[in-house]
Structure 1
Amino acid sequence: MPSGILPCKPILLFALLVALPAAAANYSLNLSTSLSRDDPIYQGLEAFKAAVETRSEKKIRIKLFPAGQLGADNELLQHAQSGSNVGVVVDSARLASFVPELSILPAPFVFPDYAAQRKFVASDTFRGWEQRLAVASGLVPLSFNWYQGGRMLVTKKPVRSPADLNGVKVRALEAPVTIETIKCLGGEPVPLAWAEIYSSLQTGIVDAAEAQPTAVYGSKLYEISKHITQTRHIHLMTGIVVSQKWLQSLPQALRDILHDEAQKQGDIASQETLKKEQQLLAAMAESGVSVDTVDVAPFRQACATVPEKLGLQDALAQVQDVIARG
Structure 2
Amino acid sequence: MGYVSGSRDAGGSPRRTHPQPTVGHIGGPVAVVVAIALWLVLGAAGARAEQALRLGFALAQGSPHDTFAETFREELGRLTAGSLQVENYCCFKLGGDQELVRKLQLGTLDATIVAQNNVGPFFPKIDLLSLPYILRDHEHAVRVLDGPVGQQLWGDMPEVAGVHVITIAYIAFRHIFNTQRPIATQADFEQLKYRVPRNAVMVDTYKAFGADPVPLAWSETLTAVQTGTVDGGDLPVDVIYSQRFHEVAKHLALTGHFAMTPAFLVSDRFMRGLSASEHTAVYAAARVAAAAARAQVTSREATILDVLASDHGVGITRPDKTPFIAAASTVKQTFAAQRGSEYDALIKAIHDVE
Give the TM-score range, shorter chain.
0.7 to 0.9
Point out the more displaced range, 208-217 or 91-100: 91-100
| 1:292 aligned onto 2:317 | yes
Residue of 224, 236, 242 corresponding to 1:212: 236
| Counterpart pick for 1:83 among 95, 100, 107 | 107
What is the total number of aligned residue pairs between the two structures?
301
- Mapped to 2, the partners of 1:225 and 1:51 lie a distance apart of 37
Distance 1:41 1:73, change over 3 A: closer
- Structure having the higher Rg: 2
1:67: which partner in 2?
Answer: 91
8 Å CA contact 2:58–2:91 kept in 1: the answer is yes
Quick check: 1:46 aligned with 2:70?
yes
Gaps of 5+ in 1: 1-22
Cα distance in 1 for residues equivalent to 2:136 and 2:69? 26
Q: Provide the residue aligned with 1:238 in structure 2.
A: 262
What TM-score does the superposition give when structure 1 sets the normalisation length? Answer: 0.86
1:251-271 residue CA offsets vs partner (Å, 9 max, x unmatched): 111111111110122022102
Given that residues 213 and 281 in structure 1 are in contact (C-alpha distance below 8 angstroms), is that contact kept between their aligned partners in structure 2? yes
Describe the superposition over 1:169-208 as per-residue Cα deviations: whole angstroms up to 9, x where unpaired. Answer: 2111111122122222332222222232221111112111
2:138 to 105, 109, 114: 114
CA distance in 2, matches of 1:47, 1:83: 24
Alignment of 1:1-326 (within 5 A): 26-144=50-168, 146-156=169-179, 157-286=181-310, 287-311=312-336, 312-321=343-352, 323-324=353-354
Give the Cα separation in 1 of the matches to 2:100 and 2:187: 37
Deviations 1:64-92 (A, max 9, x none): 12222210111121111122333111132
C-alpha contact (below 8 Å) 2:51/2:83 kept by paired residues = yes
What RMSD in Å do the two structures reach over aligned CA positions?
A: 1.9
Provide the rounded CA distance (Å) in 2 between the counterparts of 1:135 and 1:24: 26
Q: How many Å separate the matches in 1 of 2:332 and 2:65?
A: 28
Report percent identity of matched pairs.
23
- Classify the secondary structure of the residue corresponding to 1:57: coil
Contact in 1 for aligned 2:154/2:165 (Cα 8 Å): yes
| Contact 1:67–1:195 (CA under 8 A) maintained in structure 2 | no
| Secondary structure of 1:304 counterpart | helix
The CA deviation string for residues 96-138 of structure 1, in whole angstroms up to 9 with x for no partner, is 3454332221211111111111101122232133222111110
C-alpha separation in 1, matches of 2:209 and 2:308: 23
Kindly provide the amino acid, as one letter, of the partner of residue 298 in structure 1: P
Shift, 1:314, TM fit: 2.5
Distance 1:42 1:181 in 2: 29
Q: Which runs of 5+ in 2 are unaligned?
A: 1-46, 337-342
Change (3 A) 1:100 1:153: same
Asked if the contact 1:99–1:132 (Cα under 8 Å) also holds between the matched residues in 2, the reply is: no
Q: 2:67·2:289 contact (CA, 8 Å) conserved in 1?
A: no
Q: TM-score, normalised by structure 2?
A: 0.80
C-alpha displacement of 1:166: 2.7
Give 3-state SS (helix, strand or coil) of 1:285's partner.
helix
- C-alpha distance in structure 2 between counterparts of 1:221 and 1:96, whole Å: 25
Kindly indicate whether the alpha-carbon contact (under 8 Å) linking 1:28 and 1:85 is maintained by their aligned counterparts in 2: no
Q: 2:223, 2:116 → 1: CA distance?
A: 26
SS at match of 2:261: strand
Q: Give 1:167 deviation, angstroms.
A: 4.9
